[in-house]
Amino acid sequence: MLRRAMSADRADTGAPLPDLNGPVDPTAPLRLLLVEDEPTQLLILAHKLRQAGYVVDTATNGRQALDKLQVGGYSLLLTDWDMPLMDGVELCRALRAAQLPNYVYTLLLTGRDGLDHVVAGLDAGADDYLVKPIEDIELKARLATGRRIVLLEQSLRAANEENRRLSVMDPLTGACNRRYLMDLLPREIERAVRYGRPLSLVMCDLDHFKRVNDTHGHIVGDEVLRAAVRILLEGIRKTDWVARYGGEEFIIVLPETPLREGHALADQLRVKLEQAVFGSNGMTLPVTASFGVAGSEGQVAPGSSMDDLIAQCDESLYVSKTAGRNRTTSQLLR
C-alpha cells in the first residue's frame, strides 16, 4: 500500500458528489412528532410512544408542528384533527405542499368516524386514520406499518443517491469523471458570467507517470493515482471539485476564485504532492506534478466557453512542463 505524508493544517475538503447518510439501520429509533392540544392526552401519548421505542417531540398546534417539520429530521407524524390555529387536515395539506427532502408518514387521530371525514383526511395527505378512543395495540400496529414504509423509502433514497454518486465518479480515483466535468463546467461558467463572479480552472498532470507504470506496474500506478487524488481533494475547499480529465491529468474547478488565488492554491497542491511520501513494497516513489491555471480576476467574460477555459489551462500546463516540470503557470482568461 502507498504511504503519504500530509500537512495537518489543510483547508476544508470536499467534492460535489452526493453525500449519503450511510446505510439504513432498521433497528434505529425513528423520530416522531406528536401534535395534540390537550395537555393530559399529550403527556399520556408521548409516554406510550417513548416506551414503544420512538424518539418523541411534541407540538400543541398545527402551525407549531409545521415549523418543526420544516426544520427536518422527523420520519413519523401523529397529529390530532381538531386543534387551534391550524388543524390536523390543514397540517397534512401544508406538509405535503412543503415537499420536504424525506417522506414523513402521517397518522391522523380524530373522534370523527364518518366516511366523508376519512376521505377528507386522506385527500389532505394523511397516510392513515385512527378514530378515538385509541387502543394501544392498534396504535402500535399502525405506527409499525408507517415504520416499514419509512424504512423502505429511506433505503430506496439511499440506493438512488448511491447510483447517482457512482454515475458521476471515476471508479479508480474517486474524483468526478469526465462526463460530470463536461456537464457541470459549462454551468459553472454560465453562473460566473451571469452573476459577475470570478472563476479559475486548474489542470494538473503527474510528471513522468509513464515511468511509474513501466517500472513498477499498473497496480502501483493505480495506487499512486488514488493517493494523489486524495491529496488534491484534501487541499481544496468544499465548493471546489476535482475531475479526472484523462489518464494522469486532472482538472480542478475553483468557483468564486480569482486567478491570483487559483494560482496560489495550485502551487500549494504542487508542494503537497512533492512533499508527500509515496511508497510500495519498501520502495519510495518520488512523485511530482505540473500545474496550469487559467482564470479571471473579476467577471468571466460573456461568451467564454468550456473549450476556451480548458485550452488556456492546457497552454499554461504546457509552459510548466517545457520549463522543467513540477511548476505552476497561470494566465488570465482571454
Per-residue pLDDT of the chain (334 residues; tens, 9 = 90+): 343 333 333 333 333 443 334 455 566 678 999 999 889 989 999 999 999 889 999 999 989 999 999 887 899 999 988 888 888 889 999 999 988 888 899 998 887 766 777 788 788 888 988 888 888 889 889 899 998 998 888 888 888 777 777 778 999 999 999 999 999 999 999 999 999 999 999 999 999 999 999 988 999 999 999 999 999 999 999 999 999 999 999 999 999 999 999 999 999 999 999 999 887 677 788 899 999 999 998 889 888 899 999 999 999 999 999 999 999 999 999 8
Taking the C-alpha atoms of residue 144 and residue 257, their distance in angstroms, rounded to an integer, is 51
Taking the C-alpha atoms of residue 243 and residue 15, their distance in angstroms, rounded to an integer, is 9
Instruction: Report the 10 Å Cβ neighbour count for 151.
Output: 16
Taking the C-alpha atoms of residue 121 and residue 124, their distance in angstroms, rounded to an integer, is 5
The pLDDT value given to residue 27: 66
Cell of 128: 392513515
Domain ranges of the chain: 31-165, 178-332
The pLDDT value given to residue 73: 84
Nearest to 269 by CA among 181, 182, 203: 203
Q: What is the DSSP letter of 3?
A: -
H or E element that contains 332: strand 328-332
Taking the C-alpha atoms of residue 306 and residue 328, their distance in angstroms, rounded to an integer, is 21
68 CA to centre of own chain? 23
Q: Tell me, yes or no, if the two domains 31-165 and 178-332 fold the same way.
A: no
Cell of 103: 417522506
**CATH superfamily membership of 178-332:** Reverse transcriptase/Diguanylate cyclase domain (3.30.70.270)
The pLDDT value given to residue 118: 74
Q: Catalytic: which of 153, 223, 248, 249?
A: 248
Active site residue 90: no
- pTM for the whole structure: 0.60
Helix-helix angle 218-234:209-216, to 10 degrees: 140
Cis check for the bond before 186: say yes or no (omega within 30 of 0): no
The domain made up of 31-165 has a fold known as: Rossmann fold (3.40.50)
Give yes or no for a contact between 157 and 117, defined as CB atoms under 8 angstroms apart: no
Q: Which residues pair with 291 in a beta bridge?
A: 204, 328
H or E element that contains 155: helix 136-167
202: helix, strand or coil: strand
How many Å is the Cα radius of gyration of the chain?
28
The pLDDT value given to residue 227: 94
